[in-house]
Amino acid sequence: MKTYTLLLTLVALLFLSGNLYSQRITFGAKGGISMSNLRSGNSDNPLSSGYSSRLGNNFGIYGQYHISKTFSFSLGLEYSSQGGLKDKFQAYQIPLDYAQYFVPDELPPYLYANFKKETKLDYLLVPVLAKRNWKINQKFAVYAAAGPYIGFLLNAHQVVTGSGPIYQDQEKETLLPFSPELIEGKADIKADLHTVNVGVNGLLGFSYRFNQENAVFLECGGNYGFLSIYKSTAKGKNYTHSGVITVGYAFMFHERYKNRYHRTPYFKW
Protein backbone atom coordinates (compact mmCIF):
# COMPACT_ATOMS: atom_id res chain seq x y z
CA MET A 1 0.00 0.00 0.00
CA LYS A 2 2.87 2.38 0.70
CA THR A 3 4.20 1.76 -2.82
CA TYR A 4 0.81 2.47 -4.43
CA THR A 5 0.40 5.64 -2.33
CA LEU A 6 3.80 6.88 -3.47
CA LEU A 7 2.93 6.21 -7.13
CA LEU A 8 -0.38 8.06 -6.84
CA THR A 9 1.36 11.01 -5.20
CA LEU A 10 3.93 11.19 -7.98
CA VAL A 11 1.22 11.02 -10.64
CA ALA A 12 -0.63 13.90 -8.97
CA LEU A 13 2.55 15.96 -8.89
CA LEU A 14 3.00 15.28 -12.59
CA PHE A 15 -0.30 16.89 -13.49
CA LEU A 16 0.23 19.83 -11.15
CA SER A 17 3.76 20.53 -12.33
CA GLY A 18 2.64 21.85 -15.74
CA ASN A 19 1.44 25.12 -14.15
CA LEU A 20 4.94 25.98 -12.96
CA TYR A 21 6.59 26.54 -16.32
CA SER A 22 4.22 28.03 -18.90
CA GLN A 23 2.43 24.67 -19.10
CA ARG A 24 4.94 23.37 -21.66
CA ILE A 25 3.88 19.77 -22.28
CA THR A 26 5.62 17.15 -24.42
CA PHE A 27 4.01 14.06 -25.87
CA GLY A 28 6.12 11.28 -27.31
CA ALA A 29 6.16 7.75 -28.70
CA LYS A 30 9.04 5.30 -28.79
CA GLY A 31 9.88 1.74 -29.68
CA GLY A 32 12.82 -0.63 -29.73
CA ILE A 33 14.21 -3.87 -28.40
CA SER A 34 14.68 -5.26 -24.92
CA MET A 35 17.10 -7.83 -23.55
CA SER A 36 15.41 -9.35 -20.52
CA ASN A 37 16.40 -11.90 -17.93
CA LEU A 38 15.07 -13.54 -14.77
CA ARG A 39 17.32 -13.11 -11.77
CA SER A 40 17.17 -15.90 -9.21
CA GLY A 41 16.48 -15.06 -5.60
CA ASN A 42 17.07 -18.63 -4.48
CA SER A 43 20.29 -20.20 -5.75
CA ASP A 44 19.45 -23.51 -4.02
CA ASN A 45 16.49 -24.09 -6.33
CA PRO A 46 17.67 -25.32 -9.76
CA LEU A 47 14.34 -24.34 -11.36
CA SER A 48 14.87 -20.63 -10.77
CA SER A 49 18.61 -20.34 -11.45
CA GLY A 50 20.64 -20.42 -14.63
CA TYR A 51 18.58 -18.16 -16.89
CA SER A 52 20.18 -16.22 -19.74
CA SER A 53 18.80 -13.23 -21.66
CA ARG A 54 16.16 -13.25 -24.37
CA LEU A 55 15.29 -10.57 -26.94
CA GLY A 56 11.88 -8.93 -27.08
CA ASN A 57 10.00 -5.77 -28.00
CA ASN A 58 9.49 -2.58 -26.05
CA PHE A 59 7.30 0.35 -27.11
CA GLY A 60 5.11 2.99 -25.54
CA ILE A 61 3.83 6.53 -25.24
CA TYR A 62 4.36 9.19 -22.61
CA GLY A 63 3.48 12.70 -21.50
CA GLN A 64 6.18 14.97 -20.10
CA TYR A 65 5.53 17.99 -17.90
CA HIS A 66 8.28 20.63 -17.73
CA ILE A 67 8.71 22.47 -14.45
CA SER A 68 11.88 24.27 -15.58
CA LYS A 69 14.17 24.44 -18.61
CA THR A 70 16.19 21.52 -17.28
CA PHE A 71 13.85 19.48 -15.10
CA SER A 72 10.60 17.62 -15.85
CA PHE A 73 8.41 14.68 -14.90
CA SER A 74 6.93 12.10 -17.25
CA LEU A 75 4.15 9.54 -17.06
CA GLY A 76 4.11 6.70 -19.58
CA LEU A 77 2.44 3.54 -20.80
CA GLU A 78 4.81 0.88 -22.13
CA TYR A 79 4.49 -2.62 -23.48
CA SER A 80 7.49 -4.55 -22.18
CA SER A 81 8.54 -8.05 -23.19
CA GLN A 82 10.18 -9.74 -20.18
CA GLY A 83 11.32 -13.22 -19.25
CA GLY A 84 14.36 -15.42 -19.64
CA LEU A 85 15.86 -18.34 -21.51
CA LYS A 86 17.52 -21.64 -20.57
CA ASP A 87 19.03 -23.77 -23.31
CA LYS A 88 21.16 -26.41 -21.60
CA PHE A 89 21.11 -29.48 -19.36
CA GLN A 90 18.76 -28.46 -16.56
CA ALA A 91 16.22 -29.54 -13.96
CA TYR A 92 12.46 -29.58 -14.34
CA GLN A 93 9.52 -30.57 -12.21
CA ILE A 94 8.28 -34.12 -12.57
CA PRO A 95 4.96 -34.35 -14.46
CA LEU A 96 2.18 -36.27 -12.72
CA ASP A 97 2.23 -38.82 -15.54
CA TYR A 98 5.70 -39.89 -14.39
CA ALA A 99 4.60 -41.04 -10.92
CA GLN A 100 3.80 -44.56 -12.15
CA TYR A 101 7.43 -45.09 -13.13
CA PHE A 102 8.68 -44.60 -9.56
CA VAL A 103 6.23 -46.81 -7.67
CA PRO A 104 6.97 -48.04 -5.03
CA ASP A 105 10.05 -45.80 -4.80
CA GLU A 106 9.85 -42.20 -3.65
CA LEU A 107 9.68 -39.54 -6.32
CA PRO A 108 12.94 -37.60 -6.78
CA PRO A 109 12.69 -33.79 -6.39
CA TYR A 110 13.55 -33.13 -10.04
CA LEU A 111 14.37 -34.78 -13.34
CA TYR A 112 17.14 -33.56 -15.65
CA ALA A 113 17.44 -33.31 -19.42
CA ASN A 114 19.01 -31.22 -22.14
CA PHE A 115 16.27 -28.92 -23.46
CA LYS A 116 15.35 -25.33 -24.19
CA LYS A 117 12.93 -23.45 -21.94
CA GLU A 118 11.85 -19.91 -22.80
CA THR A 119 9.71 -17.95 -20.35
CA LYS A 120 7.81 -15.19 -22.17
CA LEU A 121 6.16 -12.49 -20.07
CA ASP A 122 4.23 -9.52 -21.46
CA TYR A 123 3.79 -6.53 -19.16
CA LEU A 124 2.09 -3.16 -19.35
CA LEU A 125 4.36 -0.80 -17.43
CA VAL A 126 3.34 2.58 -16.02
CA PRO A 127 6.61 4.41 -15.29
CA VAL A 128 6.82 7.75 -13.47
CA LEU A 129 10.19 9.36 -14.21
CA ALA A 130 12.02 12.45 -13.02
CA LYS A 131 14.14 13.80 -15.88
CA ARG A 132 17.19 16.09 -15.95
CA ASN A 133 18.20 17.68 -19.26
CA TRP A 134 21.60 19.11 -20.32
CA LYS A 135 21.56 21.21 -23.49
CA ILE A 136 24.63 20.89 -25.73
CA ASN A 137 23.49 23.58 -28.17
CA GLN A 138 20.23 24.74 -29.78
CA LYS A 139 19.75 21.36 -31.49
CA PHE A 140 21.32 18.67 -29.33
CA ALA A 141 20.83 17.65 -25.71
CA VAL A 142 21.49 14.75 -23.40
CA TYR A 143 19.35 13.70 -20.47
CA ALA A 144 18.92 11.18 -17.67
CA ALA A 145 15.71 9.95 -16.05
CA ALA A 146 14.80 7.60 -13.22
CA GLY A 147 11.78 6.64 -11.16
CA PRO A 148 9.40 3.88 -10.06
CA TYR A 149 7.01 1.88 -12.18
CA ILE A 150 4.04 -0.40 -11.65
CA GLY A 151 3.65 -3.34 -14.04
CA PHE A 152 0.56 -5.34 -14.99
CA LEU A 153 1.01 -8.85 -16.38
CA LEU A 154 -0.79 -9.27 -19.72
CA ASN A 155 0.34 -12.74 -20.84
CA ALA A 156 2.73 -15.43 -19.62
CA HIS A 157 3.83 -18.52 -21.54
CA GLN A 158 6.55 -21.10 -21.19
CA VAL A 159 7.79 -22.83 -24.33
CA VAL A 160 9.78 -26.05 -23.88
CA THR A 161 11.54 -27.94 -26.66
CA GLY A 162 14.19 -30.60 -26.31
CA SER A 163 15.57 -33.97 -27.20
CA GLY A 164 17.78 -36.59 -25.71
CA PRO A 165 17.77 -38.82 -22.64
CA ILE A 166 16.23 -37.95 -19.28
CA TYR A 167 18.18 -38.47 -16.07
CA GLN A 168 17.14 -38.79 -12.47
CA ASP A 169 20.21 -36.90 -11.26
CA GLN A 170 22.33 -33.95 -12.32
CA GLU A 171 25.42 -36.18 -12.55
CA LYS A 172 23.79 -38.22 -15.36
CA GLU A 173 24.27 -41.50 -13.46
CA THR A 174 20.67 -42.79 -13.59
CA LEU A 175 19.12 -42.84 -17.05
CA LEU A 176 15.33 -43.05 -17.37
CA PRO A 177 13.66 -44.63 -20.42
CA PHE A 178 11.13 -41.79 -20.90
CA SER A 179 10.24 -40.14 -24.16
CA PRO A 180 11.66 -36.58 -24.33
CA GLU A 181 8.43 -35.44 -25.99
CA LEU A 182 6.77 -35.59 -22.58
CA ILE A 183 8.57 -32.37 -21.53
CA GLU A 184 7.88 -30.46 -24.73
CA GLY A 185 5.12 -27.99 -25.45
CA LYS A 186 3.76 -24.50 -24.83
CA ALA A 187 1.99 -23.76 -21.55
CA ASP A 188 0.05 -20.77 -20.27
CA ILE A 189 1.56 -20.02 -16.85
CA LYS A 190 -0.23 -16.74 -16.06
CA ALA A 191 -2.22 -18.39 -13.25
CA ASP A 192 1.07 -19.27 -11.51
CA LEU A 193 2.34 -15.67 -11.49
CA HIS A 194 1.52 -12.46 -9.65
CA THR A 195 -0.36 -10.12 -11.96
CA VAL A 196 1.20 -6.94 -10.51
CA ASN A 197 4.84 -6.01 -10.12
CA VAL A 198 6.61 -2.85 -8.98
CA GLY A 199 10.16 -1.75 -9.62
CA VAL A 200 12.47 1.00 -10.73
CA ASN A 201 13.15 2.36 -14.21
CA GLY A 202 16.09 4.42 -15.50
CA LEU A 203 17.49 5.68 -18.80
CA LEU A 204 20.03 7.87 -20.55
CA GLY A 205 19.09 9.67 -23.75
CA PHE A 206 20.31 11.83 -26.61
CA SER A 207 17.92 14.11 -28.50
CA TYR A 208 17.95 16.23 -31.65
CA ARG A 209 15.41 19.05 -31.91
CA PHE A 210 14.33 20.17 -35.38
CA ASN A 211 12.56 23.28 -34.07
CA GLN A 212 10.69 24.49 -30.99
CA GLU A 213 8.15 21.65 -31.15
CA ASN A 214 9.64 18.57 -32.84
CA ALA A 215 12.47 16.28 -31.78
CA VAL A 216 13.78 12.74 -32.21
CA PHE A 217 15.72 10.84 -29.60
CA LEU A 218 17.68 7.69 -28.79
CA GLU A 219 17.48 6.12 -25.33
CA CYS A 220 19.30 3.34 -23.48
CA GLY A 221 17.97 2.18 -20.16
CA GLY A 222 16.46 -0.62 -18.16
CA ASN A 223 14.00 -1.70 -15.51
CA TYR A 224 14.24 -3.91 -12.44
CA GLY A 225 11.34 -5.61 -10.66
CA PHE A 226 11.22 -5.80 -6.86
CA LEU A 227 8.65 -8.61 -6.47
CA SER A 228 9.13 -12.31 -7.18
CA ILE A 229 6.98 -13.29 -10.15
CA TYR A 230 5.81 -16.68 -8.80
CA LYS A 231 2.92 -17.10 -6.36
CA SER A 232 4.41 -20.35 -5.02
CA THR A 233 7.97 -20.80 -3.77
CA ALA A 234 8.09 -24.35 -5.19
CA LYS A 235 9.61 -22.95 -8.38
CA GLY A 236 11.92 -20.66 -6.45
CA LYS A 237 12.06 -16.89 -6.65
CA ASN A 238 12.65 -14.98 -9.88
CA TYR A 239 12.75 -11.24 -10.47
CA THR A 240 12.35 -9.49 -13.81
CA HIS A 241 14.92 -7.09 -15.23
CA SER A 242 15.78 -5.94 -18.72
CA GLY A 243 17.93 -3.56 -20.73
CA VAL A 244 16.19 -1.48 -23.40
CA ILE A 245 17.26 0.48 -26.49
CA THR A 246 14.58 2.67 -28.10
CA VAL A 247 14.20 5.45 -30.66
CA GLY A 248 11.33 7.90 -30.60
CA TYR A 249 9.64 11.13 -31.60
CA ALA A 250 8.54 13.94 -29.28
CA PHE A 251 6.21 16.90 -29.86
CA MET A 252 6.11 19.87 -27.49
CA PHE A 253 3.15 22.20 -27.04
CA HIS A 254 4.98 25.52 -27.14
CA GLU A 255 4.04 29.09 -26.21
CA ARG A 256 2.79 29.87 -29.70
CA TYR A 257 -0.16 27.51 -29.05
CA LYS A 258 -1.24 29.64 -26.12
CA ASN A 259 -3.98 31.60 -27.88
CA ARG A 260 -5.27 28.57 -29.77
CA TYR A 261 -6.29 26.77 -26.59
CA HIS A 262 -7.04 29.65 -24.24
CA ARG A 263 -10.77 28.80 -24.19
CA THR A 264 -10.24 25.11 -23.53
CA PRO A 265 -10.30 24.17 -19.82
CA TYR A 266 -7.68 21.47 -20.34
CA PHE A 267 -5.07 24.03 -21.46
CA LYS A 268 -4.65 26.95 -19.08
CA TRP A 269 -1.87 28.80 -20.89
pLDDT tens-digit map of 69-86: 899 999 999 999 999 999
Query: Which H or E run includes 78?
Result: strand 71-92
What is the share, in percent, of the chain residues with pLDDT greater than 70? 80
- Residue range 40-67: mean pLDDT, rounded: 89
Q: Residue 94 carries which DSSP code?
A: P
245 pLDDT more than 80: yes
Given this model, what pLDDT does residue 17 score?
A: 46
pLDDT (0 to 100) of residue 166: 83
Please, which pLDDT band fits residue 255 given cuts at 50, 70 and 90? low
Provide the Cα torsion 92, 93, 97, 99; round to 10°.
Answer: 120
pTM of the shown model: 0.82
The DSSP output letter for 231 is: S
Which pLDDT does position 21 carry in this prediction? 45
Is 65:14 a contact under the CB 8 Å cutoff?
A: yes
First to last CA, the chain: 36
Domain limits, the chain: 2-201+208-257
- If one compares 17 and 34, the residue with the highest pLDDT of the two is 34
pLDDT band of 225, cuts 50, 70, 90: very high
Q: Which of 38-47, 179-188, 259-268 has the highest mean pLDDT?
A: 38-47
Give CATH for domain 2-201+208-257: 2.40.160.20
Residue 161: pLDDT band (50, 70, 90) is confident
Instruction: Check pLDDT > 80 for residue 95.
Output: no
**C-alpha–C-alpha distance, residues 90 and 93, integer Å:** 10
Please give the Cα distance from 61 to 161 (Å, whole number).
35
For the chain, give percent helix, strand, coil, nearest 5: 15, 60, 30
Return the pLDDT at 165: 81
User: Which of these ranges, 3-12, 19-28, 32-41, has the smallest mean pLDDT?
Assistant: 3-12
pLDDT attached to residue 83? 95
**Helix (H/G/I), strand (E/B), else coil: 15:** helix
